[in-house]
Structure 1
């Protein structure tokens, strides 16, 4: 039996910290889903996670940092899907296609739409434009996505030109932000067959522009 007067071992302390951090993030995502936004208090979060206010701020400097971490985990599902889809093409399904063609197909298959609708629901009420704070959080959270996609692409295509791959991925991610804004304004960010059609059309235009250039604008 453990001695109650004996401090927990380093391993147990780390396990407890990890458990608290996970509880905070899970509670934050649950609250975001329930209220359809990020306007919950630290007291509500601490109560849901069954931790103290102090524990919340021991793990995260601000509430925005918690939102960004939750969003980062959502984006990670896109990254994992992109990696798997690109790997399946490299192993033979589209082996003769260009690197950009494979990258574009992997992006199409990553189901960006589902993540986009969840993000829109969290960062702003359906049918309304995001606030300046929400827009900043969205852009901060997605900033590293281009670099992640570049690393994955180069991992599958080590002989590809690093500069060209990084430019392609950065262009697609930046373009996806623009496409998301146009999609949200046009559809209110709701999940309907029509909004899916609009998103697919915008994503197709983004890929075509990145591949072929900007037509009359040049």
Structure 2
């Protein structure tokens, strides 16, 4: 019996997840730079060829965990209620995510998330790879602003760059605080205050974006 498209996709997703989990377990145990692709493939029980089919670069094995968030800002802007400015929608979304301890805000102190951020912050190759992630997020957000906020390409790109950069600064500040030993609950008031200040500063420069 031939697999249906849906079943094939689920199998691919399970394989992708298994490879990523095996890789991250090794990275956290021994360090990103001390684990080879061959060792990851062996741990995940796949060939190197299969591994590279799912993850073209070693860094992608980690950044994959952020993949669902690459288009998050664009989705928030497109789904905002009528009459809501993009900046207001993104501000409300980030504050809500802080309250939910969303790992993408850096405000999550579960050991798995904390250790992942600790590795990210300590590994130059992963920091560099996150730069490509940010570029894709900026591009998607700029497109959403052009489509829904009547923004021309250059202002949309500049606004998107600022918005994505602020998100990452806030996230990494939270992650650094938690990897230094602070709890998410203790950090939350300062994280919320920092977010409010950051979005207020953005509002001064992006106030015309509606």
Q: Is the shorter-chain TM-score for this pair beyond 0.5, marking a shared fold?
A: yes
Match of 1:105 in 2: 92
Q: Residue 124 of structure 1 is aligned with which of 97, 115, 118? A: 118
**CA-atom RMSD in angstroms:** 3.9
CA contact (8 A) 2:80 2:86 kept: no
C-alpha separation between the residues in 1 aligned to 2:163 and 2:96? 14
The match for 1:45 among 30, 40, 43 is 40
CA deviation profile, 1:17-53 (whole Å, cap 9, x unmatched) = x677534420243236646747354345324543222
Q: Which residue, 163, 183, 197 being the options, matches 1:172? A: 163
Relative distance call for 1:59 and 1:193 in structure 2 (3 A) is closer
Q: Structure 2 stretches of 5 or more lacking a match?
A: 107-111, 206-210
**2: distance between equivalents of 1:129 and 1:170?**
21
Contact kept in structure 2, 1:74 and 1:115, CA below 8 Å: no
Unaligned runs of 5+ in 1: 3-10, 214-218
Size of the aligned set, in residue pairs, is 192
Give the structure-1-normalised TM-score.
0.65
SS in 1 for 2:40: helix
Alpha-carbon separation, structure 2, partners of 1:100 and 1:58: 38
TM-score normalised by the chain length of structure 2:
0.67
CA distance in 2, matches of 1:138, 1:119: 16
Partner residue, 1:114 = 103
**How far, CA to CA, are the matches of 2:90 and 2:173 in structure 1?**
23
Residue 142 (structure 1) aligned with residue 134 (structure 2): yes
Aligned residue in 2 for 1:65: 60
